[in-house]
């Protein structure tokens, strides 16, 4: 007679065999008491219970900030009255591009746009000797 | 003459700058610093001599711009990336007439185009656009700028230089070194 409860097979399923096991990395940090308190209060405010969730969200936010700064964008907050505060975070400035140019509007005529589109979608022109010399300077 | 090209600084001496064109003189004297530092609508680079590092001998101003994809005629849209086209605007370029004919203009445009390449690598830029005075069209064309639109209309002429052409020139210059 077969047993009432079938023993779970220990052999992996076909799917489990093909998918590599995701290895999780342990993250340990030494925090000063004030930082520890800050983490606890942020977790409480955000209604988070696990440190992993806290770290995952903090990481996503930090990654976004780095990618924005890398593109030369500034990170700022804006109040309801329109008052803006720019985030200045020295470590983020390390990834900011050296050349960050302000944005300007150009007034175009339809003919100019047409020829710009034609040039931008076509084969690039061969550099002139003067341009090659200019690049040698 | 050892020339240094760098960003405009607050205490640079610009009052005696004279390129022979009042709007260009006036821009450097009255607006360039303000536009760069306070209202951030353009960055000005100046050429100075090492022995007199505050006296501006020439300058150019750059700003980023873009053209909305929807603005392009439909027949060209397919050949373009699915975003707005990032451009670099070479807004002004001038040399003090007391220093004209010494290659300062060439040094300035060389620096401007190298910055364009750097920007293209860092944050993306498809071409350089300038709005040339009619008597300077040939000078820009010498560097490969192409006129846009109706070449006979207006006081100035918008001109285009593809970043791919600048990159090809840079690569050629590097291999010839």
Q: Tell me whether residues A132 and B142 touch, CB distance under 8 A.
A: no
pLDDT greater than 80 at residue A99: no
pTM over cut 0.80: no
- Interval B35-51: pLDDT, tens: 887 766 789 999 999 88
Q: Residue A1's pLDDT is what?
A: 43
Q: What is the pLDDT of residue A7?
A: 43
Please state the rounded mean pLDDT for residues A38-49.
94
Domains contained in chain A, number: 1
Mean pLDDT of A12-18: 58
- Give pLDDT, residue A6: 46
Higher pLDDT pick, A20 / B18: B18
- CA dihedral B143→B148→B151→B156, nearest 10 degrees, is -80
Report the pLDDT value the prediction gives residue B56, as an integer from 0 to 100: 95
Are the beta carbons of A134 and B91 separated by less than 8 Å? Answer: no
Q: Strands of B146-147's sheet, edge to edge? A: B3-7, B43-49, B52-67, B85-95, B127-133, B156-162, B146-147
Q: For position A83, what pLDDT does the model report?
A: 80
**B3-176 domain in CATH 3.40.630.30?**
yes
Sign of the torsion formed by the C-alpha atoms of A41, A45, A47 and A52:
negative
In this prediction, residue A100 carries a pLDDT of: 59
Convert the pLDDT of each residue in B5-32 to its tens digit: 999 998 999 999 999 999 999 999 988 9
Mean pLDDT in residue range A83-94: 78
**Does pLDDT of B97 surpass 90?**
yes
Provide, as residue numbers in chain B, all residues whose Cβ is less than 8 Å from the Cβ of A69: none
Element (H, E) at B44: strand B43-49
> How high is the mean pLDDT of chain A?
81
Average pLDDT over every residue of B164-168: 96
Place of tokens 């610009």: B14
Tokens of B108: 């300035």
Q: What's the rounded Cα separation, in Å, for the pair A29 and A27?
A: 7
Q: Helix B163-176 and helix B104-122: axis angle, to 10°?
A: 110
Helix (H, G, I), strand (E, B) or coil at B126: coil
Q: For residue A35, what pLDDT band results from cuts at 50, 70 and 90?
A: very high
How many helices (H) and strands (E) would you count in chain B?
A: 6, 7
The pair of structure tokens assigned to A128 is 């002139």
Interface predicted TM-score of the whole assembly (ipTM), two decimals = 0.89
pLDDT tens for each residue of B48-96: 998 888 999 999 999 988 888 888 888 887 767 777 888 999 999 999 9
Domain holding A56, by residue range, is: 29-98
**CB–CB contact B64 A117 (8 Å):** no
In a domain, A14, yes or no: no
Distances (CA, A) of B52 to A109, B4, B9, B74, B139: 43, 10, 14, 53, 28
Answer whether residue A45 is part of any domain: yes
Cβ contact B160–A119 (<8 Å) = yes
Enumerate the domain spans of chain B: 3-176
Residue of A nearest to B121 (CA): A97
From the CB of residue B57, how many other CB atoms can be counted at a distance below 10 Å?
23
> Of the candidates A105, A111, A127, which has its C-beta nearest B149's C-beta?
A111
> What pLDDT sits at residue A11?
52
Q: Which pLDDT value is given to residue A137?
A: 73
Q: Which two tokens stand for residue B8?
A: 């405009």
Distance CA B142, CA B158 (A): 15
pLDDT of residue A5: 44
Residue A55 lies in a domain: yes
DSSP code of residue B172: H
Chain A hits for B142, Cβ within 8 Å: 128, 130
Q: Which residue of A has its CA nearest to B86?
A: A103
Give the C-alpha separation, B69 to B79, whole Å.
11
Unique residue bearing structure tokens 């030494």: A30
> Does the residue A93 lie in any domain?
yes
Yes or no, beta carbons of B122 and A97 under 8 Å apart: yes
Q: Is residue A1 part of a domain?
A: no
| Per-residue confidence (pLDDT) for residue B37, from 0 to 100 | 77
Contact B163, B120 (CB under 8 A): yes
Residue B29's pLDDT is what?
92
The confidence band for B113, taking pLDDT boundaries of 50, 70 and 90, is: very high
Q: What are phi and psi of A11, to 5 degrees?
A: -70, 135
Q: pLDDT grade, residue A19 (50/70/90)?
A: low
Residue of B91, B143, B171, B176 to mutate, testing the A interface (most A Cβ within 10 Å of its Cβ): B143
């Amino acid at each position: 007679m077969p047993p009432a409860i079938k023993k779970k097979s220990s052999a992996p399923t076909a799917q489990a065999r093909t998918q590599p096991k995701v290895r999780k990395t342990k993250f340990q940090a030494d925090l000063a008491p004030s930082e520890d308190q800050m983490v606890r209060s942020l977790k409480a405010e955000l209604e988070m219970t696990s440190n992993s969730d806290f770290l995952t969200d903090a990481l996503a936010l930090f990654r976004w900030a780095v990618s924005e700064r890398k593109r030369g964008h500034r990170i700022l907050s804006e109040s309801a009255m329109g008052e803006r505060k720019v985030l200045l975070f020295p470590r983020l400035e390390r990834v900011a591009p050296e050349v960050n140019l302000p944005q300007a509007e150009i007034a175009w005529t339809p003919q100019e746009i047409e020829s710009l589109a034609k040039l931008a979608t076509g084969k690039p022109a061969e550099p002139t000797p003067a341009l090659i010399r200019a690049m040698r300077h | 003459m050892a020339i240094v090209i760098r960003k405009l600084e607050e205490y640079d001496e610009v009052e005696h700058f004279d390129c022979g064109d009042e709007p260009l003189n006036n821009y450097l004297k009255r607006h360039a610093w303000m536009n760069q530092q306070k209202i951030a609508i353009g960055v000005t680079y100046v050429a100075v001599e090492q022995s007199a590092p505050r006296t501006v001998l020439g300058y150019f101003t750059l700003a980023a711009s873009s053209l909305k994809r929807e603005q392009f005629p439909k027949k060209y849209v397919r050949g373009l990336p699915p975003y707005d086209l990032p451009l670099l605007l070479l807004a002004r370029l001038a040399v003090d007439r007391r220093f004209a004919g010494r290659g300062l203009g060439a040094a300035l445009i060389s620096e401007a185009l190298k910055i364009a390449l750097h920007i293209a690598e860092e944050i993306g830029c498809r071409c350089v656009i300038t709005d040339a005075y009619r008597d300077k069209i040939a000078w820009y064309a010498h560097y490969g700028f192409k006129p846009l639109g109706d070449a006979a209309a207006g006081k100035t002429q918008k001109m285009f230089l593809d970043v791919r052409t600048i990159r090809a020139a840079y690569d050629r210059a590097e291999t010839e070194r």
